[in-house]
């Protein structure tokens, strides 16, 4: 892996932990974090030894406290359009073929919440707080928040969060379905790694196809979704992992998946 300035990437077996590392700015997303995060995801995408990525924030206080507001001051409509024409962490995560878990360890605000929403599973500590506070800056969420939040928690709940900018606590986020699990701060990492390792032990191609099929469900109608699922299901039958998985079941042993 390359060395980065504003992020770190650590390999733990088949799990890669990508940490946004600007704790003095509560891990706010500046252009360097986006560029480095996109580059790191490119590396991790091509690394067949990595099955799952966990994204978190450095320090005890924040996952990510949003876009770096200091960069907003000099932005114009055209520069903002150009920013979104470059690869962002949001769209790199959206198209990333392997499962990504957001391990939310504190403030998860604005672009931070949008980044978590672009991941596949969100797990948080009890002291986490979530919001889309853009309205307080006189703007709207621009990293997918109006769309992904509504899909995940429902339009009414998303609308209230986005219109008020108010923070919700971890328990409310859990009730809304914004996070799958809430753990104490002490337990968060171990529980998240356990889940990540479990997923990373599964057949890599099937994981990728599961992700593609499930993500398609919020972007299509039922008929198109069922057709896509049937096609992806059929593709599984071309893999060595499918042959191994079925043989292992019949021979009453653990499968050894190779990602082929």
Q: Which stretch binds ligand COA (CB under 6 A): 25-33, 191-199, 223-231, 241-249?
A: 25-33
What positions carry a catalytic annotation? 114, 134
Helices assigned H by DSSP within the chain: 31-45, 77-85, 89-94, 111-118, 150-153, 155-164, 170-176, 185-200, 204-216, 222-236, 240-250
Binding to ligand COA (CB under 6 A) within 111-130 occurs at 111
Closest CA to 145 of 178, 164, 117, 121: 117
70 binds ligand COA (CB under 6 A): yes
Q: Which stretch binds ligand COA (CB under 6 A): 4-12, 102-110, 197-205, 216-224?
A: 102-110
Query: Which one, of 33, 200, 11, 9, lies nearest residue 112 by Cα?
Result: 33
Contacting residue, 133, 144, 204, 245, with ligand COA by CB under 6 A: 133
Q: Which stretch binds ligand COA (CB under 6 A): 10-18, 31-39, 52-60, 107-115?
A: 107-115
Q: Does residue 135 bind ligand COA (CB under 6 A)?
A: no
- Asked if 110 interacts with ligand COA (CB under 6 A), we say yes
Residue choice 93, 100, 109, 118 for contact with ligand COA (CB under 6 A) = 109
Cα distances (Å, whole numbers) of residue 4 to 13, 15, 92, 258: 20, 18, 17, 30
Per-residue b or e along 142-175, where b marks 16 or more CB atoms closer than 10 Å to that residue's CB: bbbbbebbbebbeeebbeebbeeeebbebeebbe
Interaction of residue 25 with ligand COA, rule CB under 6 A: yes
Q: Which residues contact 219 (CB under 8 A, 6 or more apart)?
A: none
Q: Which two tokens stand for residue 155?
A: 């339009």
- For the CB of residue 26, give the shortest distance to ligand COA in the complex, in Å: 4
When asked if residue 145 is in the footprint of ligand COA (CB under 6 A), the reply is no
Of 137 and 247, nearer to ligand COA (C-beta) is 137
- What does the binding site for ligand COA look like in residue numbers (CB under 6 A)? 25-26, 28, 65-70, 107, 109-111, 133-134, 137
């Amino acid at each position: 892996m390359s060395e980065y300035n504003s992020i770190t990437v650590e390999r733990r077996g088949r799990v890669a932990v990508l940490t946004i590392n600007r704790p003095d700015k509560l891990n706010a997303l500046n252009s360097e974090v986006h560029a480095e995060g996109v580059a790191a995801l490119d590396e991790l995408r091509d690394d067949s030894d990595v099955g799952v990525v966990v994204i978190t924030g450095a320090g005890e206080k924040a996952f990510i406290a949003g876009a770096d507001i200091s960069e907003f001051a000099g932005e114009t409509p055209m520069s903002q359009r150009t920013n979104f024409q470059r690869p962002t962490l949001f769209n790199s995560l959206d198209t990333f073929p392997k499962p990504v878990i957001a391990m939310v360890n504190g403030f998860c605000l604005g672009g931070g919440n949008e980044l978590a929403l672009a991941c596949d599973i969100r797990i948080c500590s009890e002291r986490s707080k979530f919001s889309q506070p853009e309205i307080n800056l006189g703007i709207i969420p621009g990293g997918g928040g109006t769309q992904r939040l509504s899909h995940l928690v429902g339009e009414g709940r998303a609308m209230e969060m986005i219109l008020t900018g108010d923070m919700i606590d971890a328990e409310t986020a859990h009730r809304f379905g914004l996070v799958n699990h809430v753990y104490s701060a002490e337990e968060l990492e171990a529980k998240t790694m356990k889940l990540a390792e479990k997923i990373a032990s599964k057949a890599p191609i099937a994981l990728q196809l599961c992700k593609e099929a499930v993500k398609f469900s919020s972007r299509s109608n039922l008929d198109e979704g069922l057709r896509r699922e049937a096609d992806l299901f059929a593709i599984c039958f071309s893999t060595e992992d499918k042959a191994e998985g079925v043989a292992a079941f019949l021979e009453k042993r653990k499968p050894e998946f190779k990602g082929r």
